[in-house]
Amino acid sequence: MEILTEVELKAHLTQTDDAFRSLSAKHTEYDQRLMALEAKTHLTVDEQMEEVRLKKLKLHAKDQMREIMARYKEAHPVH
């Protein structure tokens, strides 16, 4: 299977790789929770701390997804 774009690679890995699929779901969950916080006009101290925590978790999930993508690209070079 020849993967041409990052979008296609993400779709492929979402269908075929359990770890990638789990990370993608977590990334989406963190993003939705962040959007809910960011929609508020004022955040409490606890909400501000939660926002920082969610941003870190979201970034970590994204980094792990990128690692999986890089390993896949290395194992399946496009000719």
Q: What is the DSSP string of 1-67?
A: ----SHHHHHHHHHHH-HHHHHHHHHHHHHHHHHHHHHTSSS--HHHHHHHHHHHHHHHHHHHHHHH
Cβ burial 3-19 (10 Å sphere, 16+ → b, else e): beeeeebbebbeeebee
Q: What is the pTM of this model?
A: 0.87
Q: Which domain holds residue 70?
A: 44-74
49 within domain boundaries: yes
68 within domain boundaries: yes
Q: What is the pLDDT of residues 5-30, one digit of tens each?
A: 899 999 999 999 999 999 999 999 99
Q: What is the pLDDT of residues 24-54, one digit of tens each?
A: 999 999 999 999 999 999 999 999 999 999 9
How many domains does the chain divide into?
1
Q: What 3-state DSSP class applies to 2?
A: coil
